[in-house]
Amino acid sequence: MSSVKQEYNDRPTDSRIEWLRTEVWESYAPYLLIAPAIVFLLSVVAYPILETFRLSLYQSPTNSPVETYVGVEHYVTILQSEIFYQLLWQTGRWVAVSVMLKTVLGLLIAVHLNQEIAGRKFFRTAFLIPWGIPYAISAVVFRWIHHPQYGSLNAILLELGLISSPIGVLGNPSTAWFGAVLADVWIGTPFMAIIFLAGLQSIPDDLYEAAAIDGAEWWHQFRYITLPQLKSVILIATLLATIWTFVSFDVIWTMTRGGPMNSSATLVIWIYRVAFDQGSLGEAAAYSVIGFAFLLVFAVLYLRLYTRGGESL
Amino acid sequence: MTHNNPGDGDGRINRRQMMSLFGAGGAVAIAGCIGGDDPRSSDGDIQFLTMGVGDNIEEFFEENNAAFEEEYDVELDFTSVTWDNAQSTLNTRVDGGEAPDVSRLPARWIPEFAGKEALVPLDEMMEGEFGDRFYEGLVESNYYDGHYYGAPWAQSNKCLYYNKDVFEEAGLDPEDPGLDTWDDMLEAAIEIRDNASTSAYGLPANAALETGSQYYHYHWSFGADLVDDGSPVVNSDEGVEALSFYSDLVQDHEITQPSPLSSSRQDVRRLFENGDLGMVIAHVYAGLNIEDSDQDFDYGIVQVPEGPAGRYNLSTVDSLVIYTQTENEDLARDLFRFYYDEERRFEYSQSKGFLPVLESVADRDFFTEDENWAPFVEASEYARSRPKIPSFNEFNNRVVTAIQEAVGGEKSAQDALDDAQADLEEILE
């Protein structure tokens, strides 16, 4: 590098200006070219995050037009409140169970749809339908299914003699969250299935043929060929599903509003309630920042786990 | 980078790309959580925002808005949002400097918006000839911190409906149901529980506002209060007695529909309108709905029962307000004068099922002679509003959690209210 520069330095002055110009252009041109994209990203990604963080340091009470700086007071209040830990547990439970069910069911459906079965095209389309229906509408339908008086769930259970009087899944603090999970799984499974199906189709058939010749059973083929080959797809899909489920609002809000007794509320439901029901934007922003931090930590740990030993995704 | 095939070993995503993907997702999530949209659709001369304009009233607004535009030679930008979104829409618009010129809102939100200095005081109007035409109690519900901030737009209260067919099946006298006190109501309900095929009493306990609005009848009529001189007083002896009585309806007497905690106000109303419930406390439109439907059961309407300390009827008043951000205050006042025309108010109350706010309209035979309307006009005598505190929603949510805990059998009424009282003291600090 230095010898090249030396060579340039030996040239007459006008060439040196020329050289400088080229040097500057070559150094800055890439930045100039990507500047619009950076401005765009900063405005839609960085600004909302920073603004949320700024807002979380202010008191924005219901009865005052003025924002008052309160520092980390909101964070202290939140961390000292019982409801926060209840929300953490409920959010974790909601995400873990929902994502796990979506992944397992999605995988089962994908494996089935990847085989030569009658009506395969029909089923592939049919399985996508739940994903295409707006979340809130699906949630309303599920609310009706769970309805103690008019819902089909109770009608079936009563008919089968499994219960003697109607039960209200969404009215019971210990089951309400699971009622919402069922709806969320119904809505979200098709996405997982389609992504997994695409992954399955990219696995070369000769791997299975070779395994079959070696005498590998179906289960062994699944365990030693399908799963490892699908690893990166499963990772992406579950990461996305986790983020979506974590921030999912429509289903819980439409079905239970986080109740009864806040038993089905997650962090996101609480953020909405604090911001718009109780009118405290500052505290809601603090909850948002905490939620964001959790997702960040989760993503980093998740990626660490899967990229251990220098292996890329 | 090409990444056509998610399962392809070559199409791998590295850590940095993953993080940027995640960052965008997170930012959208956060922005989605607390950000607001801008619902201002077009810039007419005046913006009028209201809530819950359904099929039965859409035509009324279409016609009258057009008439207003013609009469004043202006453009009216009329928006209706759902009740679910109403408070967040108004808050977002006011905070974002995009308030409508005029809107409807429940009077209990006035302290919140007046506190933000978002509402124009309407003292001159409400203390003058314009204000004299309303029921006095309704005008007072718009009074906060020394000023009148709104004009009553609609009011609603509740009565006790009973299904005469169910009463007959249970061996009760449908024409003289004797439902004067809560104990009378309980006795009748026990008879229905034992002798009829439907649930006796509809008790909604799922969502916040309506759970409170049903229970407060009991709370007040047992002599308890919610707030006294700015401090919470929910766990008084009378309050505990009221909530014990209320939760016993579910826990001990089992006279309600199954799973009250999953029932909303609409759920129990629908049960009654379908003939599947013996009694329910509901608005005037429950009766109007039954009339319009092809249901063939008979029903009666009586006043909400009396407790040891008297009879109270939760009255909800919605108001029309002008926002301080308006640049058309005069035109906004014209819109008021236009929509408070007596004939328009009559047409509105009649079609929507809200009680009239103008005395001259309420005095009309249509309301006083009709068996669906008359009990509700009479119920105004027992009217009582929710307390006027800026953080009413937060307050109410906490009380409702206590009601749910008692009704669901999680805590005794005493424990539920004691815990609520402790939290409410912090909220109202």
pLDDT (tens digit per residue) in B218-262? 999 999 999 998 899 999 999 999 999 999 999 999 999 988 998
Q: What is the block-wise mean pLDDT of chain A (313 residues), using blocks of 10 residues?
A: 51 74 85 91 92 89 69 93 94 96 95 85 84 90 90 91 88 92 94 92 89 86 89 90 93 90 94 84 93 91 72 49
Checking if the pLDDT of B343 tops 90, the result is yes
Q: Which chain A residues are within 8 Å of B91, Cβ to Cβ?
A: 276, 279
Q: Which of B13, B16, B30 to mutate to test the interface with A (most CBs of A within 10 A)?
A: B30
Q: Which of A239-253, B1-15, B135-149 has the highest mean pLDDT?
A: A239-253
Quickly state the pLDDT bin for B18 (edges 50, 70, 90).
Answer: very low
What are φ and ψ of residue B175, in 5° steps?
-85, -20
pTM of the model: 0.79
- A11-25, A84-98, B353-367, B414-428: the lowest-pLDDT one: A11-25
Sign of the four-CA dihedral B154, B155, B158, B159? negative
Checking if the pLDDT of B414 tops 50, the result is yes
Residues in chain B: 429
- pLDDT for B428 equals 84
- B89 touches A: beta carbon within 8 Å: no
HEC states along chain B? CCCCCCCCCCCCCCHHHHHHHHHHHHHHHHHHHHCCCCCCCCCCCEEEEEECCCHHHHHHHHHHHHHHHHHHCCCEEEEEECHHHHHHHHHHHHHCCCCCCEEEEEHHHHHHHHHCCCECCCHHHHHCHHHHCECHHHHHCCEECCEECCEEEEEECCEEEEEHHHHHHCCCCCCCCCCCEHHHHHHHHHHHHHHCCCEEECCCCCCHHHHHHHHHHHHHHCCCCCEECCEECCCCHHHHHHHHHHHHHHHCCCCECCCHHHCCHHHHHHHHHCCCEEEEEECHHHHHHHHHCCCCCCEEEECCCEECCECCEECEEEEEEEECCCCCHHHHHHHHHHHCCHHHHHHHHHHHCCECCEHHHHCCHHHHCCCCCHHHHHHHHHEECCCCCCCHHHHHHHHHHHHHHHHCCCCCHHHHHHHHHHHHHHHCC
- B422 touches A: beta carbon within 8 Å: no
Residue of A nearest to B261 (CA): A171
Checking if the pLDDT of B25 tops 80, the result is no
Query: B185 to chain A, minimum CA–CA distance in Å?
Result: 23
Q: Which of A176-185, B343-352, B383-392 has the highest mean pLDDT?
A: A176-185
Contact yes or no for B190/B172 (Cβ under 8 A):
no
Query: A19 to chain B, minimum CA–CA distance in Å?
Result: 33
Whole-angstrom Cα distance, residue A128 to residue B376? 50
B34 → closest Cβ in A64, A148, A275: A275
A48 → closest Cβ in B8, B13, B27: B27
- pLDDT for A129 equals 86
A234-280 pLDDT tens trace: 988 999 999 999 999 999 999 998 978 899 999 999 999 898 777 78
- pLDDT for B296 equals 85
Report CB contact under 8 Å: B26, A276. Answer: no
Residue of B nearest to A288 (CA): B30
Residue of B nearest to A306 (CA): B15
Burial class (CB within 10 angstroms; exposed 0-12, middle 13-18, buried 19+) of B330: exposed
- pLDDT for B399 equals 95
ipTM of the complex in this document? 0.76
Q: What is the mean pLDDT of chain B?
A: 86
Q: Which chain A residues are within 8 Å of B6, Cβ to Cβ?
A: 195, 198-199, 202, 232-233, 236
Checking if the pLDDT of B315 tops 80, the result is yes
Chain A neighbours among B 368-407 (CB < 8 Å)? 390-391, 393-394, 397, 401, 404-405
Q: pLDDT: is A136 or B208 the higher one?
A: A136
- pLDDT for B9 equals 34
- pLDDT for A279 equals 75
Residue of B nearest to A291 (CA): B30
- pLDDT for B354 equals 81
A118-143 pLDDT tens trace: 888 888 888 888 888 898 899 999 99
Q: Token digits for A185?
A: 């799984």
What are φ and ψ of residue B50, in 5° steps?
-140, 180
Residue of B nearest to A282 (CA): B34
Query: A295 to chain B, minimum CA–CA distance in Å?
Result: 7
Checking if the pLDDT of B163 tops 60, the result is yes
In this prediction, residues B388-408 reach a mean pLDDT of 89
Checking if the pLDDT of B34 tops 70, the result is no
A168 → closest Cβ in B87, B262, B390: B262
